[in-house]
């Protein structure tokens, strides 16, 4: 009788949490999240992925039939990032959605169409060997009546597949999001920038002041976000307020044109005033995140950096090391590689010779258990599909997504 009155969705979420609890007791490591838009993929070889913990490939969005589309090949990014123990998320949404994508989100996040859209997204994630989904729906997309239901159902599905879900959030749309959703996000990437910009030509000034950082942190922690999940946004760009327009400058463009600007936050140009976050402000924001128990910092975006002695990513890394903070605490799990994936007959676990395993289907049911023998598991009797492989021995325990062909 008691069970019958429990909310079905709540039961699903509790079950998913119980089934897919990871047994490794990892410390809450400081995170450095970096966004990488499609138009920066040619810079992959310039980025030091050992200095970030999460990279968000931006952006994938649905076509008219709900199929998720990304304009770049993700395989080189996933390979480089995973070799450096860096997780790869796919970011959906973005500030400049196409009409098709916007209409699809509005029309296919209702109760009837939502399962198919989420299935399409999760298939995209699993097929590309990704670690998470970043929900960067902005403006009116956050204010959709279906936003919270879409995100909650996405989280339910993600937990079954051992996938994390983060969000890029702005304070001005925060009141539209239910507290439960705020609490449940694995990471909240705060867009603590764009306080002013090209849309406010008559309001020149700092677009990412320290006061915005502290205000956003206090707002979202007050809305129910766990401090350890709050990721403070850092801009690697600035805005130049001219008489008739406000062009954006990357950090690399700023310091290349004005070498004396490294430790400043504003400079006078030939055309107007250029506002940005220099080295001192970036250091102060990283230190604020550390001192206030935030989960880390987020960068928009990695391709705007200078790759060399004036790199802001290097500034962040140096500040963390001066505080005796080292990234990628879950290195062991990454080094235990599972191959081939997809698998047809036998799957091999590099780093483990003996142990036990459980294989779960997407519904959370155990479909196979047994012993790991000489680092190998026989998958020949398993049907085609997506699975979660859970591995455990005396030293460690971890889960891994697996595709059976």
Q: Are residues 288 and 305 in the same domain?
A: yes
Q: Are residues 316 and 344 in the same domain?
A: no
Last residue of a domain, one of 332, 351, 378: 332
Q: What is the pLDDT of residue 358?
A: 87
Domain count, the chain: 2
Q: Are residues 307 and 345 in the same domain?
A: no
Give the lowest-confidence range in 237-251, 351-365, 387-401.
387-401
Asked if the peptide bond before residue 342 counts as cis, ω within 30 degrees of 0, the response is: yes
Q: Are residues 310 and 196 in the same domain?
A: yes
pLDDT digits (tens, 9 = 90+) for 117-136: 999 999 999 999 999 999 99
DSSP state of 394: S
Q: Are residues 268 and 348 in the same domain?
A: no
Q: Are residues 132 and 31 in the same domain?
A: yes
In order of 44, 56, 219, 233, 299, the CA distances from 41 in angstroms are 5, 12, 34, 21, 16
Residue 397: partners with Cβ closer than 8 Å, 6 or more residues away: 22, 23, 24, 390, 391
Domain CATH number, residue 392: 2.60.40.10
pLDDT at 29 over 80: yes
DSSP state of 146: T
Last residue of a domain, one of 312, 332, 352: 332
Best CA proximity match to 9, nearest among 111, 147, 106: 111
Domain CATH number, residue 237: 3.20.20.80
Residue 322 sits at φ, ψ, to 5 deg, of -70, -20
Q: Are residues 327 and 391 in the same domain?
A: no
Last residue of a domain, one of 271, 306, 332: 332
Q: Are residues 111 and 228 in the same domain?
A: yes
pTM of the full structure:
0.79
Q: Are residues 314 and 352 in the same domain?
A: no
Q: Are residues 103 and 191 in the same domain?
A: yes
Residue 79: partners with Cβ closer than 8 Å, 6 or more residues away: none
Residue % of the chain over a pLDDT of 70: 89
Confidence of residue 5 (pLDDT cuts 50, 70, 90): very low
Q: Where are the alpha helices (DSSP H) in 39-135?
A: 75-83, 99-108, 114-127
Q: Are residues 344 and 202 in the same domain?
A: no
Q: What is the pLDDT of residue 245?
A: 97
Q: Which domain holds residue 137?
A: 3-332
Q: Are residues 311 and 343 in the same domain?
A: no
């Amino acid at each position: 009788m008691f069970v019958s009155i429990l909310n079905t969705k709540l039961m699903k979420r509790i079950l998913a949490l119980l089934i897919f609890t990871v047994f490794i007791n990892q410390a809450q490591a400081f995170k450095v999240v970096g966004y990488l838009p499609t138009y920066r993929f040619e810079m992959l070889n310039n980025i030091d992925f050992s200095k970030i913990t999460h990279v968000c490939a931006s952006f994938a969005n649905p076509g008219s039939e709900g199929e998720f589309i990304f304009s770049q090949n993700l395989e080189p990014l996933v390979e480089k990032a995973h070799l450096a123990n860096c997780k790869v998320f796919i970011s959906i949404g973005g500030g400049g959605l196409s009409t098709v994508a916007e209409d699809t989100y509005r029309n296919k996040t209702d109760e009837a169409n939502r399962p198919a859209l989420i299935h399409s997204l999760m298939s995209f994630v699993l097929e590309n060997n990704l670690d998470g989904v970043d929900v960067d729906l902005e403006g009116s997309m956050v204010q959709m009546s279906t936003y919270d239901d879409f995100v909650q159902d996405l989280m339910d599905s993600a937990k079954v597949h051992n996938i994390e879900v983060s969000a890029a959030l702005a304070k001005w749309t925060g009141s539209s999001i239910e507290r439960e959703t705020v609490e449940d996000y694995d990471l909240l990437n705060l867009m603590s920038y764009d306080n002013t910009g090209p849309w406010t030509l008559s309001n020149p000034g700092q677009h990412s002041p320290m006061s915005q950082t502290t205000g956003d942190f206090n707002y979202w922690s007050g809305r129910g976000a766990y401090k350890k999940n709050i990721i403070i946004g850092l801009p690697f760009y600035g805005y130049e307020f001219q008489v008739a327009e406000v062009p954006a400058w990357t950090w690399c463009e700023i310091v290349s044109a004005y070498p004396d600007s490294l430790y400043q936050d504003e400079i006078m140009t030939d055309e107007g005033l250029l506002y940005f976050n220099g080295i001192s402000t970036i250091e102060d924001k990283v230190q604020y995140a550390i001192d206030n128990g935030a989960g880390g910092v987020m960068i928009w975006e990695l391709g705007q950096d200078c790759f060399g002695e004036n790199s802001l990513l290097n500034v962040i890394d140096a500040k963390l090391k001066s505080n005796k903070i080292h990234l990628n605490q879950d290195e062991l799990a990454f080094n235990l590689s599972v191959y081939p994936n997809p698998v047809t007959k036998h799957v091999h676990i590099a780093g483990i010779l003996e142990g036990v395993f459980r294989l779960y289907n997407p519904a959370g049911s155990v479909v196979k258990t047994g012993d790991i023998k000489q680092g190998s598991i026989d998958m020949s009797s398993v049907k085609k599909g997506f699975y979660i492989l859970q591995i455990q021995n005396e030293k460690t325990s971890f889960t891994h997504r697996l595709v059976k062909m």
